[in-house]
Structure 1
């Protein structure tokens, strides 16, 4: 057999033509997202042996491959997932940070303004205009709490909506990925096991899209990808895609969670099992920021409203009546798990506002014992076999909240989520709009007999929780006896507590005529009233504690109300209202700042990974131009070879013809 120069030239011509087509494909897709540069893999054709040795038979194109690096693709997907989570979290919390930290639109200026109106009222406690100003301040305070809560509720609603959108996107990508997996398998089988590069690019782009939504893990199996999300939940296995859906959380139906659809049934996936991506950012924001913010704001509202109500109820209005509640105060939010099998009805009531925290709690039953766990800190606060007949601190009274089994019984495995302060801001409102219901005066007044000859002076007096007008009906008259240096005349059967220089002495079950030792400057409490006496009384001097019958100009109670602003009445007496709010603002600000910093870092890492990937897989137009020229030259040269072969063949024919 002779040397086939024509075949050699033709093979080179065909290879160059394929190379030019591949180069043209690269150039035309230089800006196509997800496109990986393709390379023509060319090899020499099998040689043919002759007596003088082996001679090549031209060239052949074995395959067209992608410049694809699986390790770089995995790095991009991992970084993309982390970056998307931080971006999602940051986008949600930034508007809230701007809202609550705004020096003119946050809670602090409105809170300060309200207490300033109480301070002004103390200067003119009987003035109708002053009372109206104070009530207007209360209305503005309520409106501000409601405004902040509305924004937070809208944010919560937006999170649910976005979770649904993300699940729909994941389902779409997963279904497309399964379809592409199937197409890839078919393509390999019908094209002599050659790689279908466009389908492979599409598959990798879909995986990258999924990594923006949630954390993904890719496990190659043959020519296909199996894709798992979160902590290992299968999403795509070969040509089969699982379907996700959103369902109300069993623990808190107000929150949507993600679930698998298996045989028509929804099987929830815990939030902690779906980290990464936009979806993970939404879950992290809701759990770590949104709900704690709502709880913290609600805590301020509940403690503030409770304290102001309690103090107003200890005062006397300009109409001479005891004050009533000024504000409505929310009760804890109690959600029985929808999967409970028992019929227990659990109630929770705030019995000590000062001891409240901004945490959530879970009451569970294992069939033998009940447990109350602080789910925010994951701390078991109490374990008991049965609910006490009387509320007991440390058992069913935890952090200012009393838990009660109202009816029914819990079955083993049942749980109840209790959020003591979650609804605090939403439930904060005005119990009255009547300004005359602001009780500026104290309900009791003290007086010294005009016949007294000593220098004893009794303080105006105040009342404490539990006081009723019956305590001074009739008025109480205390008489000083010089012989025994004592006072008598306290209400029969009452408990009298005297305090001198910080040392208290209790006299229980007072009997008529019993002398109580006197020391100048001592304070005395009885029947939920407190008075003080100083000076040197004379024998027979009397002092009366009675109703405040002329209290229109009295400001004692409104001064006590105003003093609440600077008192440490929150978190077990460790901070003020403004202090607690400031802690919340600082926490949100710190989180926002950290997300901004971390987000910048993750964005830079993602950009670096993408640049590295592009340096390997991206189209280099300069290089492609060189390749195009090379293939063109090869094409022309091979054409010349064919031309020479043709001329040689013609020469042979002419020689034979001669």
Structure 2
């Protein structure tokens, strides 16, 4: 009977091995399947008078080829790769909203500024004036269109965030159910391989959406944590994540963790990897930064053009009005928990000093602080109004208590609402309110290139006489307060003259070229009304805006270049990150598959091995049967 038992056990064990190999081959292309192996062990022994004899073998269990470390590394790397890939795809969509060439914002901006050339050449030409207005409308239209595309991307990203969170919650519920089945199966003493594969597959899917941390329990279940320590799955119980509006800025969304009816906001940076992290980074960092850059371009351009246009005189002899509708002051958004009654806002003070960033205004026991959120720079201010980064921060109403704070987004709506305010060409303020008259006895070595009002000075039209000295410097009489001190102490005190370099005094800018002679004089004063039709001084001033350092040293005409280069840098960085993390994820997955995946060559070799073992076991069983039959026949006689 011992030989028969040995043969029968060997036959059954080898048949089971063949079944497992067949199952491996059948699942060679099944996602998440781990190769299974039959673990055999000896069936023990029996003691006889002449020694110990083995009782054959039996199946201990069927285990899967699995390395927990490699699986976890593959999940983590895949999570990071998913975040980078999705952010790169979204940034490509954003980049498409900023074309170059004739369809770009840069062309529209320069066309608007360059259109003043014809007005400066022929200030009475109504057609040239109409072209300036049309180019301004084209620039404003392109800014509004760009802002609309950014808003559209923001809305679709919000929808995708909501869908991603819904998928995460569904996977968490599925994982809790599989945990329950695994726990129930653990009592048999054997591992439920297919259930474990199913759980690993769910974990892999889950990590594509949000990076997780896993903790394995003694009962076979696994607990899953997101954002560092938030328990998304605890054994057979699952919690949820939710999407809601930001408590301060309703235009933004936040992801929260919900447990027991209590919602806890999750900081974007703690999400780690996964598509959700990529979406939140794109929406709350990339989109916000680009929106601020576009808004700064709109706000700085509109304010600069308006400031210069108001310094001129239109064809009807009236002071210039705003060329663009003046952007409204940005209202501060109160943070939750503010106890004071303060209402704050921010408006443009210096368009050449603007920094593309959101700000936070904090009320403190010793005063206030303005924090630039793009880099965390804090500027203490004693009281409001206060000017920081070219913005005037105002206290519109009420009073703030220590601990109160406000979010201020000065550029968020600037491009979206930009409109041209000038409707009639004769309202274009191309004339200058000041005129220069050379002295009758001048040597003729100097020529006037341009004269226009450069700032709203109270002494703009006061009579000023410039007299050149023998050394080439000049004196100025009739100046009002606030002008720069002479370069040379004298006597007499004089200013250094450089041909082609503007002389800026009393709020006007005078540029001359050539070599002055001793005693040459130039008188600057109010322009007569009769000269308005042929006066193009302010048109020249509008053209001079092209070279005005506006965007952190970049000229106004090149403002779009700095904007587009920022977007291009983001796209290139995201492309590299996506490619790099994808390579790491592929390497980690390959390492996992090398351990857990099915290799058809190996399975074919094992198939022949166990086939031969099965045939040998059957032959041994046949021999044992024959021997036993012979024994029965002999004893039975």
Common fold by TM > 0.5 = yes
Q: Which residues in structure 2 correspond to 1:415-564 (within 5 Å)?
A: 415-445=405-435, 462-466=452-456, 495=480, 502=487, 545-564=526-545
Matches of 2:76 and 2:496 in 1, distance apart? 77
Q: CA deviation at 1:29?
A: 0.7
Could you tell me how far 1:55 is from its partner in structure 2? 1.7
2:294 is aligned with 1:297: yes
Distance, in Å, in 1 between the alignment partners of 2:440 and 2:23 is 114
After superposition, the Cα gap between the structure-2 partners of 1:133 and 1:537, relative to the gap in structure 1 and judged at 3 Å, is same
Q: Give the SS at the match of 2:91.
A: helix
Normalised to the residue count of structure 1, the TM-score between the two structures is: 0.85
Structure 1, residues 100-138: CA drift from partner, whole Å, max 9, x if none?
352333221221222221112222221121111111111
Q: Is the 8 A contact 1:332 1:350 kept in 2?
A: no
Q: Does 1:286 align with 2:319?
A: no
Distance in 2 (CA, whole Å) between partners of 1:362 and 1:535 is: 56
1:42 Cα deviation from its structure 2 partner: 0.8
Find the counterpart in structure 2 of residue 73 from structure 1. 71
2:604 is equivalent to residue 610 of structure 1? no
Work out whether residues 90 and 282 of structure 2, in 8 Å CA contact, stay in contact via their aligned partners in 1: yes
RMSD: 3.4
* Correspondence for 1:630 among 609, 620, 624: 609
Closer, same or farther: CA 372–564 of 1 in aligned 2, 3 Å: same
Alignment of 1:50-61 (within 5 A): 50-61=48-59
Q: Give how far 1:344 is off.
A: 2.4
Give a deviation string over 1:447-499, Cα, whole Å, max 9, x none.
69xxx97559997964354368x987xx979999xxxxx999x7xxx936787
Residue 217 (1) aligns with residue 213 (2) = yes
| SS of match in other structure, 2:201 | helix
Choose from 249, 266, 269 the match for 2:266.
269
* Counterpart for residue 39 of structure 1: 37
- Return the offset for 1:187: 1.0
Structure 2 vs 1, CA of residues 466 and 477 (structure 1 numbering), >3 Å: closer, same or farther? closer
Q: Which residue in the other structure is 1:150 paired with?
A: 148
How far apart, CA to CA, are the structure 2 residues paired with 1:524 and 1:351?
20
Once residues 193 and 115 of structure 1 are traced to their aligned partners in structure 2, the CA distance between those partners, rounded to angstroms, is 81
SS at match of 2:590: helix
Shift of 1:234: 2.0
Q: C-alpha deviations, 1:157-199, integer Å up to 9, x for none?
A: 222222212211211111111111111101112xx22100011
* 2:245/2:253 contact within 8 Å kept: yes
Deviations 1:326-365 (A, max 9, x none): 1124333532224434432222222222221112211123
Change (3 A) 1:215 1:615: same
- Residues 620, 399 of structure 1: CA spacing in aligned structure 2 closer, same or farther, 3 A cutoff? same
For 2:427 and 2:11, locate their aligned partners in 1 and report how far apart those are by CA, in whole Å. 100
1:17 maps to 15
TM-aligned CA deviation for residue 62 of structure 1: 0.8
Distance in 2 of aligned mates of 1:195 and 1:360: 55
Q: Answer whether contact 1:477 1:544 (CA < 8 A) is retained.
A: yes
* Secondary structure, counterpart of 1:340 in structure 2: coil
Report the equivalent of 1:619. 598
- Cα displacement (A) at 1:300: 1.4
Provide TM-score, normalisation by structure 2. Answer: 0.88
3-state SS, counterpart of residue 403 of structure 1: strand
> Contact 1:329 / 1:424 at 8 angstroms: preserved in 2?
no
CA contact (8 A) 2:100 2:106 kept: no
Confirm or deny that 1:199 pairs with 2:195.
yes
Map 1:115-514 → 2, pairs under 5 A: 115-189=113-187, 192-222=188-218, 223-330=220-327, 331-332=329-330, 334-366=332-364, 369-382=367-380, 384=382, 387-388=383-384, 391=385, 396-445=386-435, 462-466=452-456, 495=480, 502=487
- Inter-CA distance 346–314: structure 2 relative to 1 (3 Å threshold): same
Q: Is the 8 A contact 2:453 2:460 kept in 1?
A: no
How many residues in Structure 1 have an aligned counterpart in Structure 2?
Answer: 618
What's the secondary structure of 1:325's corresponding residue?
coil
**CA gap 1:504/1:551 in 2 versus in 1, 3 angstroms:** farther
Structure 1 window deviating more from structure 2 (71-80 vs 28-37): it is 71-80
Q: Provide Cα deviations, 1:553-606, integer angstroms capped at 9, x if missing partner.
A: 2211111101101121333xx221244432232232223222222322222222
Q: Distance in 1 between matches of 2:106 and 2:87?
A: 26
- Report which stretch shifted further, 17-26 or 365-374: 365-374
Q: Secondary structure at the match of 2:251?
A: coil
Helix, strand or coil at the partner of 2:322: coil
Any stretches of 5+ residues in structure 1 without a counterpart?
Answer: 481-485, 506-515
1:50-81 alpha-carbon deviations (Å, 9 max, x no partner): 11222222221111101000111121112112
How many Å apart are 1:221 and its aligned residue? 1.5
How far does residue 287 in structure 1 lie from its aligned partner after superposition?
Answer: 3.9
Query: 1:438, 1:129 → 2: CA distance?
Result: 12
State which of 93, 96, 100 in structure 1 corresponds to 2:94: 96
Distance 1:309 1:443 in 2: 16
Shift of 1:230: 2.6
Tell me if structure 2 keeps the 8 A contact 1:447–1:545. no
What does residue 470 of structure 2 align with? none
> 1:500 and 1:18, CA in 2 relative to 1: closer, same or farther beyond 3 A?
closer
Separation of aligned partners in 1, 2:299 and 2:286: 20
Asked if 1:643 corresponds to 2:622, the answer is yes
**Aligned counterpart, 1:508:** none
1:548 shift after superposition: 2.6
| Maintained 8 Å contact 1:314/1:467 | no
Change in 2 beyond 3 A, CA 1:130/1:362: same
Aligned mates of 1:588, 1:71 — CA distance in 2: 38
Whether the 8 Å CA contact 1:99–1:105 is kept in 2: the answer is no
- Tell me how far apart the structure 2 counterparts of residues 532 and 358 of structure 1 sit (CA, whole Å): 33
- What displacement does 1:446 show? 5.8
Q: Which runs of 5+ in 2 are unaligned?
A: 468-474
How far apart are 1:90 and its partner, in Å?
A: 0.9
Please point out which of 559, 564, 578 is paired with 1:599: 578
Choose from 66, 85, 88 the match for 1:87: 85
Indicate conservation of the 8 Å contact 2:245/2:254, yes or no.
yes
Residue in structure 2 matched with residue 483 of structure 1 by the alignment: none
Q: Which moved more, 1:407-416 or 1:214-223?
A: 407-416
